[in-house]
A and B are shown apart, each in its own frame.
Chain A
Amino acid sequence: MSAPHRRTRPHPDRTEPRRTWWPEGSQSAKPPTEPAPKDAASQASGPADRPRQTAYDTVNGAYQLIDEYLRQGQRMAESIWLPSEGEHAQRPEAAHVPNRLLRAMGDMTMAWLEMLQQSAPAPGARNPAPAGTAGPFSAGKSSPVATPRDSGAVAAHAGLTVCVQASRPVEVSVELTRQLEHPNLVATELRPPAPGAGPSSEITVDVSQLEASSRVDIVVPEALSPGSYSGLLLDAETERPCGTVYVRVI
């Protein structure tokens, strides 16, 4: 009996990947790292299309070059100037961070001073009330200078005077964030920071204008619940915020 005819697979044309698939006549020194897109240029095979394909290869090479360059360029540029400390050198970024912070702070300070100089009036002119901050300072029974009842505290900073009347310990901070030539301030009602909380009408904040400054009178009632209360100082004419008032009832 004869052996049955066995069906076999046809012998393949090749048994390993073709790694030299780029077209003949290509000017590139190395093969591209990615396959060329399947467009008309890459599928050109005739002699008439070869010049165009050659130009396409050059431009494809240019794309790969700039992509590689951008990935490597910055690291390479930095490595040229690093001290020769081998592989265990500290990361340069960490070593220079404190100096960078100092420089940044120095730049900010310099810019702030230059801005103040530019906005300063000419010599001999009357100086407008500068923006200022008063507080935080404490008033109330625990204050060493307060009287048992109607205790109050007064703090003055250039351009701003704050008077607090409270019969219990409180912490107050008043800040002017904008310098006004002729300040005419009003205060909003203070309210707790909780979302949706209504304004507290129990703390009274009155703002009056003195000759060269503003005076803020704050009265904290005895029965007010402990907590934090804050509000805004507004320019009465423009209603733009000029500062903040913060009261913490201890």
Chain B
Amino acid sequence: MTGRSELVRQVLDEYGALSQRLLASYLRQAMARDDVYQLAADYPLRSGRALRASLCIATARAFGGSVQDAAASAVSLELLHSAFLVHDDIEDESDERRGKPTLHRLVGVPAALNAGDALIALSLRPLIGNRLTLGPQLAWSILEEAERMVRESVEGQAMELRWRQTTDADVSERDYLLMILKKTCWYTTIYPSRVGAMIGSRGELDLDLFSRFGFFLGAAFQIQDDLLNLTGDHERYGKELGGDLLEGKRTLILIHTLRNAAPPERARALRFLALPRAEKPQTELEWLMSTIERLGSIDHARRVAHALAGAAAHELSICLRTAPDGRDKAFIEALPYWVLERA
């Protein structure tokens, strides 16, 4: 493990533990009110990296804010992230999440859907509480950012679902990048860094710089996630390998394969993708994975992920040029490298 990766791991552990404590506190209060929050607490309390919360807190601190200033926004984001995961797992018909069965596999789809809605409701309270710690104007601005983030994420997910439902083969790399910009980047990297910058600088910084950085970092993160889905270590990855192909997801890898496959291979791949998940034969899945490897799609995605991480590092140097040196700044600077090294 490189020094940068070790720093990232330490900061994620520290801020992750902090976020978990605050999350647990919010959830305990909620669980005392109603049993629905017992279910809702399942995903937030499963161990995760807390990347989003850590990025929010670290960005705020890099520009002079405190952990207390950013904590509520970070907790809100983790609650919302859990809500998205619950709903995503239902939409994707996934079986595993963070090494355990998905919530809808445990309690059924209706109860899991409602638990996801409960998490959305819970995520609002910390943002409202920002009024007292950050002042009404900054709190309102963060609320507006949160509204935009949720809207972008929903629209991005809608794009992906449309592609899967229509088995639309004509999805370009640009379409894919736009989809992950909305679905993944906004709530994984853009929103946390924008809000952290707002809190740390009290609204003085140009937030579009963080949108650019967040997009490139989030895109590299997502493509690396797509790679791990096909090539990663199952135990460390926490989700089933090949799950994206079973769900028919249009990843950068699959787009490259469909564009470079011979017509008969392309037709065979499309037929496989159009089948319902439960009816997809294992042999066809294995054939498609070997075709992906043979056509160089894995290597292509890996090169793109590296280049995007490089772009993120470049944009970040502009974002952080006014931030003093320190551990939080070093942590953020290490992230473009960490997204490629993680497993």
CB within 8 Å of B: which residues of A?
A: 27-30, 51-52, 54-56, 58-59, 61-63, 65-66, 69-70, 77, 104, 107, 110-111
Shortest CB distance A108–B (Å): 10
Q: Judging by beta carbons under 8 Å apart, are A59 and B256 in contact? A: no
Select one of B151, B174, B215, B300 contacting A61, CB under 8 A.
B174
A-binding segment of B93-101, B118-126, B175-183? B175-183
In the bound complex, CA of A65 to CA of B179 (Å): 11
Known: A58-B252, A59-B308, A69-B215. 18 other contacts (CB 8 A): A27-B173, A29-B173, A51-B296, A51-B299, A52-B303, A55-B300, A55-B303, A55-B306, A58-B304, A58-B307, A62-B308, A62-B311, A63-B311, A65-B177, A65-B178, A66-B212, A70-B212, A107-B135
A-B contact pairs, 22 of them (CB 8 A): A27-B255, A27-B256, A28-B172, A28-B174, A29-B174, A29-B175, A30-B174, A51-B296, A56-B307, A58-B173, A58-B304, A58-B307, A65-B174, A65-B177, A65-B178, A65-B181, A66-B181, A69-B215, A70-B211, A77-B151, A104-B137, A107-B135
B338 within 8 A of A: no
Complex Cα spacing A58 to B306, Å: 12
Q: Cβ of B307 and Cβ of A59 under 8 Å apart?
A: yes
- Tell whether B84 is near chain A: CB-to-CB under 8 Å: no
Find the residue from B173, B178, B219 having the highest chain A CB count within 10 A. Answer: B173
A-B contact count (CB 8 A): 69
Within 8 A of A (CB), among B277-320: 296, 299-300, 303-304, 306-308, 311
C-alpha spacing A23/B26, complex, angstroms: 55
* Complex contact A62–B177 (CB within 8 A): yes
| Chain B residues with a Cβ under 8 A of chain A | 135-137, 148, 151, 172-175, 177-178, 181, 208, 211-212, 215-216, 219, 252, 255-256, 259, 296, 299-300, 303-304, 306-308, 311
* Contact residues in A for B148 (Cβ distance below 8 Å): 77
* A233 CB, min distance to chain B CBs, angstroms: 31
Are B174 and A59 in contact, with the CB atoms below 8 A? Answer: no
Cβ contact within 8 Å between A28 and B173: yes
Give the complex CA separation of A30 and B174 in angstroms: 9
User: Is B303 in contact with A61, judged by CB distance below 8 angstroms?
Assistant: no
Q: Is the CB of B172 within 8 A of A27?
A: yes
Q: Shortest distance in angstroms between B177's beta carbon and chain A's nearest beta carbon?
A: 5
Closest Cβ–Cβ distance, residue A170 to chain B (whole Å): 42
B175 cross-chain contacts in A, Cβ below 8 A: 29
Alpha-carbon separation in the docked complex, A178 to B303 (Å): 63
B-chain residues with CB within 8 Å of residue A63 when the two chains form the complex: 311
Return the chain B residue nearest A70 by Cβ.
B208
Name B311's contact: one of A29, A30, A59, A111 (CB within 8 Å): A59
Contact A29 B172, beta carbon cutoff 8 Å: yes
Q: Once the chains bind, are B304 and A55 in contact (CB under 8 Å)?
A: yes
Say how far B262's CB is from chain A's closest CB, in angstroms: 15
Which chain A residue shows the least CB distance to B302?
A: A55
CB neighbours (8 Å) of A51 from chain B are 296, 299-300, 303
Nearest-CB residue, chain A, relative to B307: A59
Chain A residues in 8 Å Cβ range of B137: 104, 107
Chain A residue with minimal CB distance to B252? A58
From residue B247, how far is it (CB to closest CB) to chain A in Å? 22
- B296 CB contacts on chain A under 8 angstroms: 51
Residues in A neighbouring B135, C-beta threshold 8 A: 107, 111
Chain B residues, Cβ within 8 Å of A30 = 174
CB closest chain-B residue, reference A26 = B173
Q: Is the CB of A62 within 8 A of B172?
A: no
Contact call B311/A61, Cβ cutoff below 8 A: no
Is A59 within 8 A of B304, CB to CB?
yes
By beta carbon, the residue of chain B nearest A30 is: B174
Contacting pair B299 A61 (CB below 8 A): no
Name the B residues within 8 Å of A58 (CB-CB): 173, 177, 252, 304, 307
Contacts of A65 in B (CB 8 A): 174, 177-178, 181
Min CB gap A227→B, angstroms = 42
CA distance A243 to B31 in the complex (A): 54
Instruction: Give Cα distance in the complex from A110 to B216, angstroms.
Output: 41
Q: Which 3 A-B pairs have the closest CB atoms?
A: A29-B172, A55-B303, A59-B307
Cβ contact within 8 Å between B259 and A27: yes
- Bound Cα distance A110, B136 (Å): 10
Given A77-B151, A110-B136, the answer on whether A61 and B181 have CB atoms closer than 8 Å is no
**How far is A58 from B297 in the complex, measured between Cα atoms in Å?**
13
Q: What are the residues of chain B within 8 A of A55 when measuring CB–CB?
A: 300, 303-304, 306-307
Q: Indicate the member of B148, B151, B174, B212 with the most A CB atoms within 10 Å.
A: B174
Q: How many angstroms between the C-alpha atoms of A118 and B303 in the bound complex? A: 58
| Least Cβ–Cβ distance between A13 and chain B, in angstroms | 30
Chain B nearest CB, measured from A177 CB (Å):
22
Q: Which residues of B are found within 8 Å of A107, using beta-carbon distances?
A: 135-137
* Contact A69-B181, Cβ < 8 Å, known A30-B174, A58-B307, A77-B151: yes
A54–B259 Cα gap in the complex (Å)?
Answer: 12
| In the complex, chain B residues whose CB is within 8 Å of the CB of A66 | 181, 211-212, 215-216
Which B-chain residue is minimally distant from A59 (CB atoms)? B307
Q: Which residues of A contact B177 (CB under 8 A)?
A: 58, 61-62, 65
